[in-house]
């Protein structure tokens, strides 16, 4: 049990990667607040974790909202007594070029993917610092480290996540707070199906292309979760500001 007594927040906790990570953190002993825009789905994940014999609560929230983030942090502290681990993972993608993207869509992608992490850190860092430290993991993307086609707002937002992570690590390392990004390649979740739909492509063909990488398959959400558990735990005690790539060799 690598996370015994730890209290964790997972955003996008009802989605593919978030759900797998919430389960994995709980299985390592953490108490988990499952946060998602879809409150019903978050409640189902929390119930699944409790059914497995672990501790979890669900919180419906829009992570781009300052008021919602404040409520998430306050609720978690009230229920669990603190926050030691945060997985800032909620994210959305728009498969459009700059010409095709509206200013509103751009702002929404940045609100969910980037502003959310700033807001969460604004509220959890003081709590972690007062407790002597903590671990924050942010979900970037392979496309945050290199470019990708027809996803201008997403690529820009994930690049921001990677570099914001480094800046946070510099600012808050002296307080014992480690901040890292996990950068997945194509992982088999609802997001890929959403992308196929947005691009008007056949889902099976899109998924087959996503599997075309050195390890010859897409990632499983549990493989991202395993990396997040490691970054959340003391096993990675000297790792901060890093951009960990978990992508089956797709980026190299
Ligand atoms: P997903 O679509 O299965 O899960 C995303 C979750 O975030 C959903 O449950 C959704 O309801 C929630 N969400 C969306 N907007 C929200 C908001 N405003 N407030 C709170 N929750 C919100 O997708 P997946 O794949 O699990 O994505 C998780 C993260 O992984 C995202 O940040 C994504 O960009 C990133 N990622 C995913 C990759 C993939 O191939 N699936 C590759 C690289 C990065």
Q: What is the pLDDT of residue 251?
A: 65
Flag whether pLDDT at 102 surpasses 70.
Answer: yes
H or E stretch at 60 = strand 56-60
User: What single-letter DSSP state applies at residue 240?
Assistant: -
Atom of ligand 1 lying closest to residue 143 CA: 43
CA separation for the pair 181, 112 (Å, rounded): 16
Give the mean model confidence (pLDDT) for residues 198-223: 96
What percent of the chain stands above pLDDT 90? 99
- Contact 141 CB / ligand 1 (< 6 Å): yes
Q: How far apart are CA 176 and CA 202, in angstroms?
A: 47
Return mean pLDDT, the chain. 97
Decide: 64 in ligand 1 pocket, CB within 6 A: yes
Gyration radius from the chain CA atoms: 17
DSSP string, 181-194: EEEE-SBSSHHHHH
Q: What is the ipTM of this complex?
A: 0.99
Residue 9: which of 39, 37, 31 has the closest Cα? 31
Mutate to test the pocket of ligand 1, among 21, 58, 59, 90 (most ligand atoms within 8 A of CB): 90
Neighbours of 125 (CB within 10 A): 20
pLDDT band at residue 250 using 50, 70 and 90 as cut-offs: confident
- C-beta 92 within 6 A of ligand 1: yes
In this prediction, residue 230 carries a pLDDT of: 98
Q: What residue owns the CA closest to ligand 1's atom 18?
A: 62
Tell me how far apart the alpha carbons of residues 233 and 228 are, in angstroms, rounded to a whole number: 8
CA distance 197 to 209: 15
Say how far apart CA 154 and CA 202 lie, in whole Å: 21
Q: DSSP secondary-structure letter at 34? A: E
Return all residues near 87 (Cβ < 8 A) that are at least 6 apart.
8, 9, 10, 11, 18, 21, 25, 137, 139, 228, 232
Q: What is the pLDDT of residues 14-62, one digit of tens each?
A: 999 999 999 999 999 999 999 999 999 999 999 999 999 999 999 999 9
pLDDT above 70 (res 111)? yes
pLDDT at 137 over 50: yes
pLDDT of 96 strictly over 70: yes
Q: Whose CA is nearest to atom 12 of ligand 1?
A: 12
**Which tokens belong to 78?**
């009230």
Over residues 197-208, the mean pLDDT reads 97
Mean pLDDT of the 182-208 span: 97
CA distance 51 to 30: 15
* Rounded mean pLDDT, 182-202: 97
Determine whether the shortest distance from the Cβ of 186 to ligand 1 is under 6 A.
yes
Residue 153 clears pLDDT 60, i.e. is over it: yes
Count Cβ atoms below 10 Å from residue 162 Cβ, excluding itself.
18
């Amino acid at each position: 049990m690598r996370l015994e007594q730890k209290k964790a927040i997972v955003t996008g906790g009802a989605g593919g990667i978030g759900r797998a990570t919430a389960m994995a953190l709980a299985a390592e002993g953490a108490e988990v607040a499952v946060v998602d825009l879809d409150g019903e789905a978050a409640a189902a994940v929390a119930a699944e974790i409790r059914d497995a014999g672990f501790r979890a609560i669900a919180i419906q929230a829009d992570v781009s909202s300052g008021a919602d983030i404040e409520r998430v942090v306050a609720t978690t502290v009230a229920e669990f007594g603190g926050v030691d681990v945060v997985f800032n993972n909620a994210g959305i993608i728009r498969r459009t070029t700059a010409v095709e993207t509206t200013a509103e869509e751009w702002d929404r992608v940045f609100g969910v993917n980037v502003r959310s992490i700033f807001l969460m850190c604004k509220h959890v860092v003081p709590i972690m610092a007062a407790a002597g430290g903590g671990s924050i993991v942010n979900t970037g993307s392979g496309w945050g480290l290199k470019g990708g086609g027809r996803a201008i707002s997403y690529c820009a937002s994930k690049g921001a996540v990677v570099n914001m992570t480094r800046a946070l690590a510099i600012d808050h390392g002296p307080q014992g707070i480690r901040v890292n990004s996990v950068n997945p390649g194509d992982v088999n979740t609802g997001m890929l199906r959403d992308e196929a739909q947005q691009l008007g492509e056949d889902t099976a063909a899109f998924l087959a292309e996503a599997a075309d990488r050195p390890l010859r398959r897409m990632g499983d959400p549990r493989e991202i979760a395993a990396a997040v558990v490691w970054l959340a735990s003391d096993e990675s005690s000297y790792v901060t500001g890093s951009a960990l790539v978990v992508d089956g060799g797709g980026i190299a």
